[in-house]
Amino acid sequence: MITARDIMHAGAQCIDADESVRAAAMMMRSKGVGALPICGPDQKLKGMITDRDIVMDCLAAGKDPDRMKAIELSGHVHCVRADDDLDVVLLKMEQHQVRRMPVIDNERLVGIITEKDLAMGHKMAKGVTDQQIIDFMDSMFVKH
């Protein structure tokens, strides 16, 4: 059985919930990513913030990225457990139309699964099948 842990990108770093949106944007830039998990002081996952959130809900809305906190841009967060089967991961990503899925273990963030991780899981023969990739891409990018 292929699990989330088998294909996730380990070592994901959180932005603290009370950090500014500007700090989140700077962290995204330095890491070359378009999204960050948001964690509280207990290091438990509280949400996700994306570059799109920053542009649409902070900058375009005329808000101050130095005063707005990262957690203010987080909606409901969807995540999977590290021991969840790949089919569960794909289903959740498809159902919620998310391209980045945080992975938790004992309520703590242990990694993230992105579209790239799925593609690399396929390329590196980690058990992601052609059909799983096709079905995922179809559900995410083809209007039904």
How far apart are the C-alpha atoms of 19 and 71, rounded to whole Å?
A: 8
Record the tokens describing residue 2, joined without a space: 């292929």
State the 10-residue block means of pLDDT for the chain, 144 residues long.
88 92 97 92 90 96 97 91 94 91 92 86 66 81 68
Q: What was the pLDDT predicted at 144?
A: 55
Q: What was the pLDDT predicted at 85?
A: 93
Q: What was the pLDDT predicted at 14?
A: 92
Q: What was the pLDDT predicted at 36?
A: 93
Complete DSSP assignment for 11-76: -PPPEETTSBHHHHHHHHHHHT-SEEEEE-TT-BEEEEEEHHHHIIIIITTT--TTTSBGGGG--P
Domains and CATH numbers, the chain: 4-141 (3.10.580.10)
pTM as predicted: 0.85
Q: Looking at the DSSP assignment, which residues form a beta bridge with residue 80?
A: 103
How far apart are the C-alpha atoms of 132 and 84, rounded to whole Å?
A: 16
User: Which run of H or E residues covers position 101?
Assistant: strand 100-105
